[in-house]
Structure formats: C-alpha cells, structure tokens
Chains A and B, each alone.
Chain A
Amino acid sequence: MSVAAAVTERIHWIGALDPGMRTFDVILKTPSGTTYNSYCVRGSEGVAIIDTVKLECADQFFARLQQFADYGEIRAIVLNHLEPDHSGCLPELLRRAPQAKLYVSESAQLMLKALVKQDGLAFVPVTTGDSVSLGDRTLRFLHTPYLHWPDTQCTYVPEERVLFSGDVFGCHFCDRRMFNDAVGDFRFAFEYYFHHIMRPFKRHVLDALALIEPLDLAAIAPSHGPILRDRPRDYVARYRELATPRLKRETDNGDRTLIVFYISSYGNTRRMAEAICDGAAEVPGLRLSLYDLEGSPVEPLVDLVEEADAILIGSPTINGDAVKPVWDLLSSFAGIHVKGKVAGAFGSFGWSGEAVRMIEDRLRGLKMRVPVAGVKVKLIPAREEILACRDFGRQVGEFLIGRQVTREIDFSELVSAA
C-alpha cells in the first residue's frame, strides 16, 4: 500500500492504482496501466474530497481516505468530471459522509441524474468565480467544459497553489511513486492522452488555458497519472502548443484552406480532382492543396483536415461503394473537430455510381456543411464534364470566402441528387 501521497502538507492523494488496465474507454491503449486520482484537502474547518475512483477500486480508495480523514470531517465532495472512473464511489462516499455537500459543474447537473440513479441526490452546481471555504483553505472552481465531456471543471486551492485539473493534464500511467519528478518516463503517455482524449476539443482546451494560465501553480493534480509538481507550467505550455492550430501559427495571411483528396484507378477521378482545383484557383484568398489518398497513410492527412476550412473527397464507385481509403480517412475524423467545416464529394463511375452520395451522407453525418451538390461523371470526363468540375470547385471556393451565389432549387433535386 505504500504510495507517495503528500502533495502538500494539507493535500493528500487518496486514489487507486490500476496497473493491469490495458484498454481504456475502448479507444485508448494503456500499456502501463493507469491510476484514478482522488485527493483529500484539509482546511481548518473541514475536509474536501476531490473526485472518487472507479467502483472496482473502492477498497483502495476508502482505505487511503481513512488514513487522512474521518468521514465526519468531510464537508465538501467535488466531482470535476462525472465519468464512472471518477464518480464510481460517490454513492458509497455519500452514504458514509451524509453531511457532505456535493459540488459539480453547472453543465453536470442532468448528467449526474443519469449516472447516479439515486432519488433526492442533493448537489450544488458551481461555475467560474464560485468558491467554497474550508476555513483557512478555499476551493475555487473553474468552468472548463468539454474536456472531454460536457460536464468537466477544474478546482483550484489558492492557499496551496494546487490545481485539481480533472482529466486535463492527465495520462494513463501507473507508477506508485506518483510524482512527475519521481516516476518513470511518462512523456509518451502524456502526449498520447492529449492526442486521443483532448484533441477533438482543442478550442475548449484553449478556453480552459485562458483560465488556468494566470494561476500561481505549485502543482497540478490531474485525475489520472503522475502529479505534476516539478515545473507544472511546462505542461500548461505544452497543452497550449498542442491545442494551437499550427498552420495559422506558421503562416497566416487570412487565406481559407481547401484540400482536395481523391483516389483513382484509371485517372478519371484524378482528372476531376485537377479540374476542381483549377476552378477553385479562380477564387482569390484560398490556399489549395491536392492529395492522392493512395500516397499517404491516414494520420498525416487527418492532421491536415484538422486545420483546413474545407475538404472535397473524390472516389470512384467500386462494387457499389466508395473505396476503403476514403472510408479510412472519414472514420478517422472522430478524433478531430470537423463540425461546421465545408465539405463535398465527387467521383467517376461506370454504371451505378453510389460513391458520391454515400460520401456526402457521411460528411453530413459528421455535421460538416455540404453546400454544393457533388459531381458525378460517367467514366472518362468529357470536356463539358470537366467544366462542370471546374464550376463545382469554384462554387465551393466562393461559398468558402462568403461570396455565395443565390440559388433557387426544388426539394426533389435535393432528394435525388444529394
């Protein structure tokens, strides 16, 4: 049971080690297991418990809690994040400390009811600016939603200069030495966690950093992995770097970015892609790129899409479907933010031509905007079909720079053509 526990004289780690965990939340590999961090904060007028652990680890949690506090002393329980790996022991903790008040973020309220099926569960919703006094220590709340659920928040104890950051700055890494200056090399785990958990929410990360950066920080105490007491600011700076769009940082002349992806067996869809680029090139203020999906693994392309304003995807129809590299690309968008980006589809076909329609449906399903109906060309694009492709590229480009043409259409066109 010996685990490094004292974050400061007043703050102790009372979480659980889960060294055997190998896959987390379906999407994460955890080769070094994980920890569920919860903390006990002692003030002159009572104790606060920050987060709990997953239900399966209840024994570890309650045993550690009892080393540092009596249940009767607990005044406040804070859940920075309601995911079951942090809220799992809440019902039992409330049973043992019925006098304690529960604090959750404003956006956690409905979710709490769905997660903790307990009638009459009392709680206090809090947001940035709210605080709770423990006598000579204070809990101050920061509203930092969508990191990585709608309900997430951070809690700061100014007298100790410690930030309880929830999943932000966390990682899956299990080492009983617990502090970043004492544990093994966990850099990979830290980056991997950001990449798989925080990446789709970069804008929210930047909002949260605006609240976190002004804080005086002796340590950051996240809800998974090492406690960051050695140079905590480095991790804040790293988050800012990871969350800031690179293209805009490196060159920003205000251009809008349009990427045309295609794949093509006989060059028909490729010819269409080139004509679409030619059309878009007639629109000023666009940064245009053309990529053959055959030429690259998916990951770097996803990086490009993440910072693009618009993407167009071209696929031939093969056996009644768009081809696998296209679906591989599209299925990787879940890890980034694509909602609201402009998108479209095109492709050559032989007789049935399902691909364009299927890609468009998927783009809409991802909440991308598909303002111009896709172009389909039967086999080799003829001169006028090349012109239609150019038009398509130009229309998308004009939509992108806010110079749309006024259109009048009939619903039946949308239903059949789209």
Chain B
Amino acid sequence: MAKAKVKFADVNVTVTVPVGTRIIEISEKVGSYIAYNCREGDCGQCMFAVVEGAQNLSKPSELERATLLQQYREIIDGWRSLDSAEAIAAAMKRDNLGGRECRLACQTQVFGDSVVAPL
C-alpha cells in the first residue's frame, strides 16, 4: 500500500501512514493539539495549518470550504472586536494565519508528505 509521511510540528512526531488516512485519525493518537468537536466538518473546531505539502492533501469539499470560510470570518471578527492594538497583535500572533493554508483535520486526507500544526 502506498505510504505518506505526516509531521505534526507541535509535538515533533512524524508518522508514516497509508495514503487516504484522515489527519484526525493520526493527530489524536500522537497528542497533537488539534481540537475536535463535531468530527463531521460542521463546526470548524479542528482547523489546523498546513506548514508544508498542501498539494499532497485531499482537495477540500464544498462542506469543508464553507466551514473554513465561516471559521476565518469568526477569527477576523474576533480580531475586530478587540479594542487595543496590543490585544489585536497578540490574537493575530496566536492565530498566525498569515500566509498559511488552513484545513479541517476531520476532513482532510493525506495523499503525500506534509507537515501540519495546530493554529
């Protein structure tokens, strides 16, 4: 069976998995701090950042795209509602979306090597 390597940058663990494995199936077992709620692409809780190898992951479905859009909006509105420059800078630093591609861990399948991390 074809294999791929996924590295979870927050815990420094690289796992060799059969292609087609979903991120959620691996991340929970290695203790990566990607959180879950609905596990079916609805809530956006499991959004994570792709550090490398975005092209090696499954293409996002319509559902995933809609949830991601909603989640981006929430983050940005969250920033908007902060009332000091320091608080906004801190939130942006924490979420650090700049230049990163985000996906849902409960939806995304691994087809080739990649490096991922929680937001």
- Return 21 A-B CB contacts under 8 Å, by A number: A128-B81, A129-B81, A129-B83, A143-B81, A339-B35, A367-B35, A367-B36, A369-B32, A369-B33, A371-B30, A372-B31, A406-B13, A407-B14, A408-B15, A409-B14, A409-B15, A410-B15, A410-B16, A411-B15, A411-B16, A411-B18
Among B12, B17, B31, the residue within 8 A (CB) of A411 is B17
Interface membership of B29, Cβ < 8 A: yes
Interface membership of B26, Cβ < 8 A: yes
12 new A-B pairs (CB below 8 Å) besides A405-B12, A406-B14?
A339-B35, A340-B33, A369-B31, A370-B31, A371-B11, A371-B31, A372-B31, A404-B12, A408-B13, A408-B15, A409-B14, A414-B29
Q: Output the least CB separation between A54 and chain B (Å).
A: 28
Q: Output the least CB separation between A52 and chain B (Å).
A: 27
Among A127, A364, A399, the residue within 8 A (CB) of B11 is A399
Q: Which residues of A contact B101 (CB under 8 A)?
A: none
Size band of the interface chain B makes with A: 20 to 34
Interface membership of B58, Cβ < 8 A: no
Number of interface residues of A (CB under 8 A): 25
| Contact between chains at B21 and A407 (CB < 8 Å) | no
Pairs A-B, 10 closest by C-beta atoms: A371-B31, A411-B17, A414-B29, A369-B31, A406-B12, A408-B14, A407-B13, A410-B16, A404-B12, A370-B31
Among B11, B12, B30, B83, the residue within 8 A (CB) of A414 is B30
| Contact between chains at A414 and B36 (CB < 8 Å) | no
Interface membership of B28, Cβ < 8 A: yes
| Contact between chains at B81 and A414 (CB < 8 Å) | no
| Contact between chains at A411 and B21 (CB < 8 Å) | yes
Interface membership of A302, Cβ < 8 A: no
User: In the bound complex, what is the Cα–Cα distance between A132 and B32 (angstroms)?
Assistant: 44
| Contact between chains at B31 and A414 (CB < 8 Å) | no
Q: Output the least CB separation between A330 and chain B (Å).
A: 17
Q: Which residues of B contact A404 (CB under 8 A)?
A: 11-12
| Contact between chains at B13 and A409 (CB < 8 Å) | yes
Q: Output the least CB separation between B112 and chain A (Å).
A: 15
Interface membership of A55, Cβ < 8 A: no
Give A417's nearest chain B residue, CB to CB: B29
Q: Which residues of A contact B18 (CB under 8 A)?
A: 411
Q: Which residues of A contact B21 (CB under 8 A)?
A: 411
Q: Which residues of B contact A134 (CB under 8 A)?
A: none
| Contact between chains at B28 and A364 (CB < 8 Å) | yes
| Contact between chains at A414 and B33 (CB < 8 Å) | no
Give A344's nearest chain B residue, CB to CB: B31
Q: Output the least CB separation between A170 and chain B (Å).
A: 26
Q: Which residues of B contact A367 (CB under 8 A)?
A: 35-36
User: In the bound complex, what is the Cα–Cα distance between A340 and B15 (angstroms)?
Assistant: 21
Q: Which residues of B contact A415 (CB under 8 A)?
A: 29
Give B77's nearest chain A residue, CB to CB: A106
Interface residues of A in 142-160 (CB under 8 A from B): 143
Interface membership of A387, Cβ < 8 A: no
Contact digits for A8-41, partner B, Cβ 8 Å, 1 yes 0 no: 0000000000000000000000000000000000
